[in-house]
Amino acid sequence: MIERMPMAGAAIQFLAAAAVIVVAGTFLARYGDAIADLTGLGRLLVGSVLVAGATSLPELSVDLNAIALGAPDLAIGDLMGSCLMNLAILAVVDMLHRSRRKMFSRESAAHALSAMVSIALVALASLAIMLAGKLPDEFLRLGPGAWLLLLAYIGGVRLVYRDQQVSAAQAKEGPQDVLQPAGHITLRRAIVGFIAAAVVIVIAGPYLAEAAEELAEVTGLGRTFVGSTMVALSTSLPELVATVAAVRMGAFDLAIGNVFGSNAFNMALIVPLDLAHDGPLLASVSATHAVTGVWVILVSAVAVMGQIYNAESRRRFIEPDATLVALLVLGAMASLYYLR
């Protein structure tokens, strides 16, 4: 790879790598959903774990390369920014779909628990950033913040899994969630396609990170802002594709589970990044990322309020709905640009 490149070259490389990740992410979500269908897994589990983990692969490959390049701010900015972008995706898709407010109504209240798990994980990461230098040193190559996130993620997944088991048992006599047929895709083909798409993403990710870092240097915007916007937007494109596909199938639970599950998974990705970094990762980045974390918590809380709020008629811009979520994300981006 070229160590230094002109701005035009960096922009072309950035767009090309992002396009490859989008295409690969599309197939990743498609084959992941087929695997879930063919193995009999439900959409809640698919959205929160399988699709969420699959569409978060760009973050892992990009951020590991950012760590290798000595750009930890770019890595954490991408993870925090991707959480904001995922929430924006949920809001925009909800506003544009014909069944508007489907994802911000009591019909989607079952996902409040997974949303709260993602909020708790983002809060832990933000606290670890703000307490940099005041926490104990590494233990078994992991910083204290990474250990907390690892344990909290495992505990959160267990909570969501047990909650879904209880809900499934209670709904046995009610209408069942019907999955779309996998068509001509066999389980073997789905697994091979899933792995192939994942490999493409892992290969394209480093090129995206390299171009983003170069743009940060050339434009003077800084790694924190670029990581929280440009890279985050690109690595969130698989989530966008998966969410749109799920909504078009009428699988709103799959779409919502993908977003909140991806946000939780993003925080869990700090663990392998911490292992790759020399020293506690969260103690080595800008405090601005904690501001991004607070924005993610605020926007997620508004989304949850929209899901559990009973009123059918809502005042736009005031009461919790997709419009307010989108406006808050724009406010977050503006504040990050100001703090760059």
The pLDDT of residue 275 is 93
* Dist CA 322 CA 2 (whole Å): 42
pTM of the predicted protein model: 0.81
* Dist CA 82 CA 137 (whole Å): 28
AA identity, residue 21: I
The pLDDT of residue 312 is 60
Contacts of 139 (CB under 8 A, 6+ apart): 147
* Dist CA 22 CA 122 (whole Å): 25
* Dist CA 108 CA 47 (whole Å): 13
What are the pLDDT tens digits along the chain (340 aa)?
Answer: 445 567 788 889 888 988 888 888 778 777 877 777 777 665 666 677 777 887 787 778 788 888 988 889 888 988 998 899 899 988 888 887 755 556 666 556 667 888 999 999 999 999 999 998 777 777 888 899 999 999 999 999 888 878 777 766 665 555 554 445 455 788 889 889 988 988 888 788 778 767 776 776 676 666 566 655 666 776 777 778 778 777 776 767 777 888 898 999 999 999 999 999 988 899 889 888 999 999 999 999 998 888 787 666 555 555 567 888 999 999 998 888 787 6
* Dist CA 154 CA 131 (whole Å): 23
* Dist CA 195 CA 125 (whole Å): 30
User: Residue 4 corresponds to which tokens in the numbers above?
Assistant: 């230094």
Q: How many residues does the chain have?
A: 340
The pLDDT of residue 171 is 58
Answer positive or negative: Cα dihedral of 202, 207, 208, 213.
positive
Instruction: Output DSSP code: residue 177.
Output: P
Q: What are phi and psi of 76, to 5 degrees?
A: -70, -35
**Packing angle, helices 72-96 and 187-219, rounded to 10:** 120
* Dist CA 49 CA 78 (whole Å): 20
The pLDDT of residue 2 is 42
Answer positive or negative: Cα dihedral of 60, 61, 62, 66.
positive
Contacts of 144 (CB under 8 A, 6+ apart): 128, 135, 136, 280
The pLDDT of residue 1 is 44
Q: Domain extents for the chain?
A: 7-338
User: Residue 18 corresponds to which tokens in the numbers above?
Assistant: 């992002």
Contacts of 196 (CB under 8 A, 6+ apart): 27
**Packing angle, helices 237-248 and 57-68, rounded to 10:** 180
**Cβ atoms within 10 A of the Cβ of 70, count?**
11
The pLDDT of residue 101 is 54
In contact, 19 and 233? CB cutoff 8 Å = no
* Dist CA 89 CA 234 (whole Å): 12
**Cβ atoms within 10 A of the Cβ of 89, count?**
25
Residue-by-residue DSSP string for 48-69: IIIIHHHHTHHHHHHHHHHHHT
The pLDDT of residue 158 is 87
In contact, 294 and 283? CB cutoff 8 Å = no
* Dist CA 48 CA 261 (whole Å): 4
Tell me: domain 7-338, CATH 3.40.50.920, correct? no
Instruction: Output DSSP code: residue 228.
Output: I
Please work out, in degrees rounded to the nearest 5, the angle formed at the alpha carbon of residue 170 by the alpha carbons of 165 and 176.
90
In contact, 33 and 46? CB cutoff 8 Å = yes
- Picking from 48, 32, 60, the residue whose alpha carbon sits closest to that of residue 231 is 60
